[in-house]
Structure formats: structure tokens, C-alpha cells
Amino acid sequence: METILQHAQGLVYALLHLMPSPYQRASLSSLLGLFLEAQGHPVPQGCQTKSASALSRFLNHSEWSTRSVLRTTRHQVLQQMRAHLPGSGSPLKVLIDLTTLEKCGKFRHLGDPTE
């Protein structure tokens, strides 16, 4: 049975593999490192391995597929949920915290379901 660490590592490697260049892989790796440190440093200024401008360029201008990252992450999460389903009759409770996401603009794929 795989541990949660092995599953997390698999997800990280899958996401890194989606990046089209070594520079983007390094930037994503640096950002993930900042998230894991959880020291409260402002991103990207708190990063010691990449410049703030390099991380800003990665997040705002680089040509990597956001859709592929979301799809890969969703696939890994669903795989974990299936592997650890509670017993019959027990409800599965999932909490997705979106409070850290900026709430501005529109994402056309999350439009009105009736459209």
C-alpha cells in the first residue's frame, strides 16, 4: 500500500512533466517548495532559488497548459478517493478550500451551466 507521501510525489512528478521547458519545471518546483515551507513569505518574493520576476513570468506569461495541470490534479485526487472509499453506507465528505483564490474576472469554462 502506497503512503500519502508516495502519492504526493507522484502528483508532483506528473505536474512537473507537463511543463514544456526545463526553466518552467524549475519555476514550478520552486513554487511548490514555497508552498510546502508554509513560512508565510510572500510569493514570489520569498523564494531563494528563483527570482521574483522569473516566478511572475512563469505564472503570468509562460505557455503551459492550465487545463492539463487541472486535469492531472483532478485525476490524481479522484484516484486517491477511489482507493480510500469508506465502507458501504458511509458518506464521503470532501472539502475544497477556494478562499486563497483571487475572486476577480471571469473564467469562460465556469460560466452559467445553462449556456
pLDDT digits 0-9 by tens, 23-73: 889 988 888 877 776 666 555 666 777 887 888 888 778 787 878 888 888
Spatial separation of the C-alpha atoms in residues 80 and 14, rounded to whole Å: 15
Number of independent structural domains in the chain: 1
Q: Is residue 54 part of a domain?
A: yes
pTM above 0.75, yes or no: no
Q: Is residue 104 part of a domain?
A: no
Q: Is residue 14 part of a domain?
A: yes
115 pLDDT above the threshold of 60? no
Spatial separation of the C-alpha atoms in residues 57 and 94, rounded to whole Å: 33
Q: Is residue 95 part of a domain?
A: no
**Quick one: pLDDT at residue 69?**
83
In angstroms, how far is the first alpha carbon of the chain from the final one?
44
State the Cα angle at 99 between 10 and 39, rounded to 5°. 65
1 pLDDT above the threshold of 60? no
Q: Is residue 100 part of a domain?
A: no
Spatial separation of the C-alpha atoms in residues 62 and 21, rounded to whole Å: 10
Q: Is residue 15 part of a domain?
A: yes
Spatial separation of the C-alpha atoms in residues 48 and 52, rounded to whole Å: 9
The range of the structural domain enclosing residue 50 comes to 1-84
pLDDT per residue as tens digits for the range 63-87: 878 788 888 888 888 887 777 776 7
Q: Is residue 74 part of a domain?
A: yes
Q: Is residue 113 part of a domain?
A: no
Spatial separation of the C-alpha atoms in residues 115 and 103, rounded to whole Å: 21
